A and B are shown apart, each in its own frame.
Chain A
Amino acid sequence: MTTETAPATAPAPPSDERVRKVGALSRLLVRPEVGAIAGTALIWLFFAIVAWDNNFASWVTTAAIINRAAPLGILAIAVALLMIGGEFDLSIGSIVGFAGMTIMILVFPTEGGGFGWSLWPAILVALVFAMAIGLFNGWLVIATKLPSFIITLGTLFVFRGLTIAVTRLMTNRTQLGGADEVSGFGLADTLFASEIKVFGASFRISIIWWIGLTALATWILLRTKQGNWIFGSGGDANAARNQGVPVSRTKIALFMTTAFAGFLVAMIQVVQFTGADTLRGRQQEFFAIIAVVIGGTLLTGGYGSAIGAFFGALIFAMVQQGIIITGVDGDWFQVFVGGILIIAVIFNNFVRAKAAQR
């Protein structure tokens, strides 16, 4: 047959004249986190100039910003993974409240309506509860095929409500304190709430957890097959399934990851504030999503990065701290954050369109 050509001897097709060399800058622009990194620098510069007299550009303010960013950042990293996998978790804030209260009810003295446990067994139980909630969220989303937005909006209210109702039923309060008097607190304090002095400013150890989780999440996303599955599941679940990706398993694992992040933040805050509040973690689900979106992750899934979420959380905290320090009424904070969110989404859409045409 005349049409046959041996693959090895086939001449290399001439390079397409329509392909142009793409500059380093526009190559860089298609990385999801680039916008957030640039945004971090811009917003820092903005506040450094506007609030120069208020000492914005100082170690103390820097520590305050990063300390504020860390718990949100821990949530945002997990939410970023889940969103890249194509799902939402609105229940993460209520998991923070639920897990924190679980710990406190278990360690609270029996005369106060608690169980009088020592701290570490209580932490373990809270971990198991949180993972069960994550499993439940994931299973429900997979089994019902309903949007995770709806499912986790439901579980957000269920677990917030349970936290408040059960706490009040058992202890007749909504805030429980005294974690520092429980055995096992010393080690937990060192691990989750100690502070490190650098240049006269106190940096909390939760920053290390935040950075460590960002590194771990980035490694998983970019350098493991599970990371490939996350991108695939979020990009096109059907196509991924056709290729043999265990999409359901991947998504359930991601819901358990966000639940774990909620538990970790709950534990850090229990130790740091030596107690828990039934309303702890309220609105964090939205703040985490905002941080993730500012970080360049697509709401529709399949594209994004953990490093972007890291900087998204940093921007969030920077704006918060900047508004406090400039003495502007805190009411303006929401206006500012909402504006940044919308700008970030417009910018991300533009970048994605560029990425698709590159």
Chain B
Amino acid sequence: MSGNGTPLLEIKNVSKFFGSVIAIQDVSAFVRAGEVTCLLGDNGAGKSTLIKVLAGVHKPTEGEYFFDGQPMNFSSPRDALDHGVATVYQDLAMIPLMAVWRNFFLGAEPTKGWGPFKRYDVDFAKETSISELGKMGIDIRDPDQTVGTLSGGERQSVAIARAVYFGAKVLILDEPTAALGVKQAGVVLKYILQARNRGIGVIFITHNPHHAYPVADHFVILRRGTVYGDYTKEELPLEQLVQMMAGGADLEVLQHELEAASREGEEGADVLAETAKKIGSELEELGE
């Protein structure tokens, strides 16, 4: 599945500066149809800026943007969406107090009738939202259920299903698993694969290598605003990916401390937690 075909979306040597701040520099990445490209990076690695460049929010200061082989310059997120580049943000663009079917078709409501009798085709909207979610393996019992009653994973899944239904060719997912529990994250990962299997190019942004590894065909690792590594799955075992994410030296320190802590028997758990916290904050500082 990987390794052939022209990229659906590609950026070459893209940089984005905000005044004197270099948010990202010389970043290249691509995604092909029916593949998942994973953008990995810790806090402050430039993920958010890169998403906004890809989604059409920011124009790159330098570099080139290609869509379907053509140089592209999206004027707005709406423009990108019209071309088939859909972005699902962490805040989801879902309205909690509205029913699932109302959310699903918000902004693109199907209508029937004409003139003053033109009306929202409610039956079609309800049926379609149920069947589209069904195709993604999401079982919505009642389309009148409000989105507020769905779990975080279900909401992400509805957002993905909606983007797929409205003809997304490229789906950009901004940390869709970040706020979720293990099981919920697994559900979302499943839908990412579903979308990929339907021939969509998925750009999956995350800081969690364990979420990235099972679904990605291709990894782009960002550190401090630049590309630190660019690998296909075959080239990169999980252990190495985890190590690269954290930065090798820091991880070795972490490992030693963890091992030492676990030898200390009963109280080990407390020490472990403390150490993990300490290392975590150090890593954060490093990332910034």
Say which one of B60-68, B99-107, B277-285 lies at the interface with A. B99-107
Binary CB contact string for chain B from 88 to 108 against chain A (1 if under 8 A, 0 otherwise) = 010111111110001001111
Determine the distance from Cα of A76 to Cα of B182 in the docked complex, in whole angstroms.
Answer: 48
Residues of B within 8 A of A144 (CB): none
Residues of A within 8 A of B106 (CB): 228-229, 232, 240, 243, 245
Residues of A within 8 A of B136 (CB): 7
Pair count A-B, CB < 8 A? 101
Determine the distance from Cα of A162 to Cα of B118 in the docked complex, in whole angstroms.
Answer: 40
Say which one of A12-20, A67-75, A112-120 lies at the interface with B. A12-20
Q: Is A200 an interface residue (CB 8 A)?
A: no
By the criterion of a CB under 8 Å from any partner CB, how many residues of chain B are at the interface?
Answer: 40
Q: Is A41 an interface residue (CB 8 A)?
A: no
Q: Is A225 an interface residue (CB 8 A)?
A: yes
Which residue on B lies nearest to A301, using beta carbons? B97
Residues of A within 8 A of B1 (CB): 1
Determine the distance from Cα of A1 to Cα of B233 in the docked complex, in whole angstroms.
Answer: 12
Residues of B within 8 A of A19 (CB): 141
Q: Determine whether the beta carbon of B149 is less than 8 Å from that of A239.
A: no
Q: Is A358 an interface residue (CB 8 A)?
A: yes
Q: Determine whether the beta carbon of A224 is less than 8 Å from that of B119.
A: yes
Q: Determine whether the beta carbon of B97 is less than 8 Å from that of A303.
A: yes
Q: Determine whether the beta carbon of A225 is less than 8 Å from that of B214.
A: no
Q: Which single member of B78, B95, B215 contacts A235 (CB below 8 Å)?
A: B95
Determine the distance from Cα of A251 to Cα of B208 in the docked complex, in whole angstroms.
Answer: 41
- Least CB distance, B204 to chain A, in whole angstroms: 14
Q: Determine whether the beta carbon of A232 is less than 8 Å from that of B120.
A: no
Q: Determine whether the beta carbon of A224 is less than 8 Å from that of B96.
A: no
Q: Determine whether the beta carbon of B98 is less than 8 Å from that of A232.
A: yes
Determine the distance from Cα of A358 to Cα of B134 in the docked complex, in whole angstroms.
Answer: 21
- Least CB distance, B92 to chain A, in whole angstroms: 7
Determine the distance from Cα of A302 to Cα of B98 in the docked complex, in whole angstroms.
Answer: 8
Q: Determine whether the beta carbon of A231 is less than 8 Å from that of B120.
A: no
Q: Determine whether the beta carbon of B97 is less than 8 Å from that of A302.
A: yes
Q: Is B69 an interface residue (CB 8 A)?
A: no
Determine the distance from Cα of A23 to Cα of B221 in the docked complex, in whole angstroms.
Answer: 51
Q: Determine whether the beta carbon of B146 is less than 8 Å from that of A358.
A: yes
Q: Known contacts A223-B119, A235-B97; decide if A358 and B137 are in contact (CB<8 Å).
A: no
Residues of B within 8 A of A239 (CB): 91-95
Residues of B within 8 A of A225 (CB): 109, 111, 120
Q: Which of A215-260 contact B (CB under 8 A)?
A: 219, 222-225, 227-229, 231-232, 235-236, 238-240, 242-245
Binary CB contact string for chain A from 97 to 108 against chain B (1 if under 8 A, 0 otherwise) = 000000000000
Q: Which of B120-154 contact A (CB under 8 A)?
A: 120, 122, 134-137, 139, 141, 145-146, 148-149
Q: Which single member of B91, B134, B139, B197 contacts A6 (CB below 8 Å)?
A: B197
Q: Known contacts A6-B197, A223-B120; decide if A302 and B77 are in contact (CB<8 Å).
A: no
- Least CB distance, B244 to chain A, in whole angstroms: 23
Binary CB contact string for chain A from 342 to 357 against chain B (1 if under 8 A, 0 otherwise) = 0000000000100111
Which residue on A lies nearest to B110, using beta carbons? A225
Q: Is A4 an interface residue (CB 8 A)?
A: yes
Q: Is A146 an interface residue (CB 8 A)?
A: no
Q: Which of A1-44 contact B (CB under 8 A)?
A: 1, 3-8, 10, 12-13, 15, 19
Q: Determine whether the beta carbon of A7 is less than 8 Å from that of B120.
A: no
Q: Determine whether the beta carbon of B193 is less than 8 Å from that of A3.
A: yes
Residues of B within 8 A of A222 (CB): 122
Residues of A within 8 A of B146 (CB): 355-356, 358
Which residue on A lies nearest to B77, using beta carbons? A242
Q: Known contacts A4-B193, A223-B122; decide if A228 and B109 are in contact (CB<8 Å).
A: yes
A-B contact pairs, 20 of them (CB 8 A): A1-B1, A5-B193, A7-B136, A10-B137, A12-B134, A223-B119, A223-B122, A227-B120, A231-B95, A232-B95, A232-B102, A232-B107, A235-B96, A240-B93, A240-B106, A243-B106, A244-B81, A244-B108, A355-B97, A356-B96
Name B residues whose Cβ lies closer than 8 Å to a Cβ of A.
1, 77-78, 81, 89, 91-98, 102, 105-109, 111, 118-120, 122, 134-137, 139, 141, 145-146, 148-149, 193-194, 197-198, 214-215
The 3 A-B pairs at the shortest CB distance, nearest first, are namely A225-B109, A244-B107, A243-B107
